[in-house]
Amino acid sequence: MTDAAQQTAKETQKPKSFSAKAFAAQSKTSPMAPHTVKRREPGPSDVQIEILFCGVCHSDLHQVRDAWSNFLPTVYPCVPGHEIIGRVVKAGSTVKKFKEGDIAGVGCMVDSDRTCPYCRAGEEMFCQSMATFTYNSPDKILGGVTYGGYTDNIVVDEAFVLRIDEKKNLAGAAPLLCAGITTYSPLRHWKVGKGQKWESSASAVSATWA
């Protein structure tokens, strides 16, 4: 096959996509500004979420400013945001957990290999192939990198989408998807109960960051 034919074959394997409005940084010194990104049309196990709220995590600032250039260099344009709450507007044919109109949440990960021992144990954040993070991770389906929640829509496999009670304060629920779980996870792991004191340390937080 010629290079051109191979390229065409690759293109036809890619799912159809649509445009989503976004806020992106074009470089490590530029401010966030309107931009457009491609989202895949939902596949059988995907949900398309119209984003209602997205928290601002300090990781977003690090990523936008390329502060992790030595281990997680930023690919520009960069669209951060991994504390996402929205409404399901489309659900693929095999989706079980969601239907149109449901409120859904997406945190720091949108995929993993799902086959390694960690994934099978439900600890995808430790995936041996490295989880696909919600932004600035290689996008296995569309190519390029993933784009986060500073957008009007996101498409995610239902396995990485959480159900959110729509009666809750949805704006307040968004930060639970990163900062909240980062705090709650060690408290639960170490069985911290009423009346006990817990000292936060950078190492404890980084050990559970996901």
Question: Which parts of this chain interact with Zn ion (CB under 5 A)?
Answer: 57, 59, 112-113, 116, 119, 127, 178
CB-wise, 79 or 91, nearer to Zn ion? 79
Looking only at Cα atoms, what is the longest distance across the chain? 69
Q: Least distance in Å: CB of 55 to Zn ion? A: 8
CB-wise, 55 or 91, nearer to Zn ion? 55
Rg (CA), the chain: 18
**Computed from CA positions of residues 118, 119, 122, 126, in that sequence, does the dihedral angle turn out positive or negative?**
positive
Closest CA to 86 of 179, 171, 175, 21: 171
Q: Least distance in Å: CB of 17 to Zn ion? A: 26
Contact indicator for 45, 94 with CB cutoff of 8 Å: yes
Q: Least distance in Å: CB of 54 to Zn ion? A: 11
- Provide the pairing of β-strand 46-54 with 33-40: unpaired
Closest CA to 138 of 130, 128, 127: 130
Q: Least distance in Å: CB of 137 to Zn ion? A: 14
CB-wise, 98 or 133, nearer to Zn ion? 133
Residue 189 phi/psi, 5-degree rounding, is -60, -45
Q: Least distance in Å: CB of 119 to Zn ion? A: 3
Segments of the chain assigned E as strands: 17-24, 33-40, 46-54, 84-91, 103-106, 109-111, 132-133, 153-157, 162-163
Contact indicator for 164, 170 with CB cutoff of 8 Å: yes
SS3 93: coil
Closest CA to 66 of 57, 58, 75: 75
Q: Least distance in Å: CB of 68 to Zn ion? A: 13
